[in-house]
Amino acid sequence: SEQNIEMIEAKGNVVMVKGDLIMKANSCIYSSEMAKDPKKADQIDCQDNVSVTKAGHYLEGDEGSLNLKTGIY
């Protein structure tokens, strides 16, 4: 049987890796409601102490998004 995921929420020391990109945050969420918007499909939104490391570059902030399909953050 097919299952539809409506929401995935991760809290605590959340780490996502996509190739050479590493994104860390205290809280991240994926919602099927967001997936209905083509601009947000395959996107995870993160909050609190967000940091992104890629190819020797480092960013940090309060919020960040990662597109799982494209790797664009």
- Is there a contact between 5 and 55 (Cβ–Cβ < 8 Å)? no
Q: Taking Cα atoms as reference points, which of 25, 28, 26, 23 lies closest to residue 9?
A: 28
Tens of pLDDT, residue by residue over 17-72, are 888 899 999 999 987 776 677 777 778 899 999 999 999 999 999 999 988 878 78
What is residue 43's predicted lDDT score, i.e. its pLDDT? Answer: 84
3-state DSSP: the chain helix, strand, coil percent, rounded to 5?
5, 65, 30
Q: Which of 32, 42, 28, 30 is nearest to 72 (CA)?
A: 42
Query: Can you give the pTM of this predicted structure?
Result: 0.78
Residues 1-12 pLDDT 10s:
677 778 889 999
